[in-house]
Chains A and B, each alone.
Chain A
Amino acid sequence: MTTRGGKRRIAQAGRDTTPAPDTYVFQLFVAGDEPNSALALGNLVRICDAHIAGRYEIHTVDVLKNADAAYKHNVIVTPTVILTRPLPSVTLFGTLRDPAQVLAALRLTGAR
């Protein structure tokens, strides 16, 4: 699993990895470097940087290397992004190309 985000909590090994309460945590399931997966990651980062900069973490899961994680989270296609925090969790499919829809689905509309 690779991590990307404003606070880099998980990247700092050996320290407390619990994200701050106001941090948005995403799990993005991708299939290697497939184009739609790459698009989804790029779009998610762009949206997060624009709206919740410094308050998000993206954990990328490559299903080609870690299929078990995909089964565990009932992921059936890539790209799939799951907002795990704050609850309730939300699962989104596709490349996240429409920022307005993504913001609405992630309850981020108006979040700055």
Chain B
Amino acid sequence: MSPQGTAHREGIDSLTGAAGLARALRTHEVDAIVGVRDIMFVRLKQAEDELESSRNQLRALTAHLLSVRDSERVAIARELHDEFGQALTSLQLGLAWLARNVKPAQKPLLTKIGALSDATTSLIRSVKNITVELRPGALDELGLAKTLKSSAREFEGSAGIPCGFRTNTAGATFDRPAAVAVYRIVQAALTNVARHARASNVTVALMKRTYDLVVTVRDDGKGISRKLIDSQNSLGIIGMRERTVALGGTFTLASSRSNGTLLTARIPLSRVVIGPATAA
């Protein structure tokens, strides 16, 4: 067929008959459907635009809420550390002074002081753990990659599941709020694995690609159903997705009974890396 003939054929196919009608509907080029009794307006594009606008507003609100929550966490961590932590340290010092000054004859008292001192030590440790949980200070001291590596090690210790970590971001400097978001995503993912996956191996990866920072958490557990992934009650998943979207990224969860679950958060480098990194 000549080029003119081909163009003619394409023109007919794309605008006429069932294919033309389907195309016009699909591309929102139709504004009313004429029924036997009624004429129904279709404003699909408009409805889609409104839906998208509504989604964007919701995302902005969620991003704001996450930001507020992070700020409050930092404030609570500071209060806990400065007020509660210091008070407990004073208490422990006081108990130590008491223990030194109790007469040997008052053995029951000494035993009681010892028990109180142990309880105080335990409390100080708890406060420290809560503080770290609320405000990952390690992010400032160690950087994102080393903090995630440390999280993987801690996960291994607490969940008893081997957890590997790999990265190619040595030397990269990350934007602080973005790093916190990535840290929280991995934290939430590992919590889900520990609670639900029944996995025997987990791998966390933080990889710099040409345009994106790709965070993956892969486990070989029993997988997660599509219903649960999409559920409005899966707050952990919603939180991870919203944190990713707030950074202009995409979030996917691929899961099957036989292959476990692969979580992928892909975030534009421009939103998360502010310093140099080794090449991907």
- Where the two chains meet, the residues of A that have a C-beta atom closer than 8 Å to any C-beta of B are 29, 31, 34-37, 39, 63-64, 67, 70-71, 75-79, 90-98, 100-107, 109-110
Contacts and interface: CB of A to CB of B under 8 A. Distances in A.
19 contacts: A64-B39, A70-B34, A71-B36, A77-B21, A77-B30, A79-B30, A90-B12, A90-B16, A91-B17, A93-B24, A93-B29, A94-B23, A95-B24, A104-B11, A105-B15, A105-B16, A106-B11, A109-B4, A109-B7
Given A36-B31, A93-B15, 13 more contacts: A34-B31, A77-B21, A77-B32, A77-B33, A77-B34, A92-B20, A93-B21, A93-B30, A94-B27, A98-B14, A101-B7, A104-B11, A105-B14
A94 B12 contact: no
A94 B24 contact: yes
A110 B4 CA distance: 9
Contacts of A39: 29
A37 B39 CA distance: 14
A101 B34 contact: no
B31 A104 contact: no
Contacts of B211: none
Contact of B8 (A64, A91, A92, A109): A109
A86 to B, nearest CB: 16
Nearest to B9: A104
Contacts of B7: 100-101, 104, 109
A35 B41 CA distance: 11
B30 to A, nearest CB: 5
Contacts of A107: 8
B29 A67 contact: no
Interface in B169-215: none
Bin chain B's interface residue count. Answer: 20 to 34
Interface centre among B23, B28, B30, B31 (most CB of A within 10 A): B31
Given A101-B11, A103-B11, A35 B20 contact: no
Nearest to A33: B31
B10 interface: yes
Given A67-B39, A94-B23, A31 B8 contact: no
B25 interface: yes
Interface of chain A: mostly helix, strand, loop or mixed: mixed
Contacts of B15: 92-94, 96, 101-102, 105
B167 to A, nearest CB: 48
A102 B11 contact: yes
Contacts of A96: 15
A92 B18 CA distance: 10
A63 B25 CA distance: 18
Contacts of A101: 7, 10-11, 14-15
A94 B32 contact: no
Nearest to A78: B32
Given A94-B15, A105-B11, A31 B23 contact: no
Contacts of B35: 76
Contacts of B27: 94
B29 A36 contact: yes
Interface centre among A35, A75, A94 (most CB of B within 10 A): A94
Contacts of A97: 29
Contacts of A64: 32, 39
A91 B32 contact: no
B11 to A, nearest CB: 3
B8 A34 contact: no
Contact of B39 (A31, A93, A98): A31
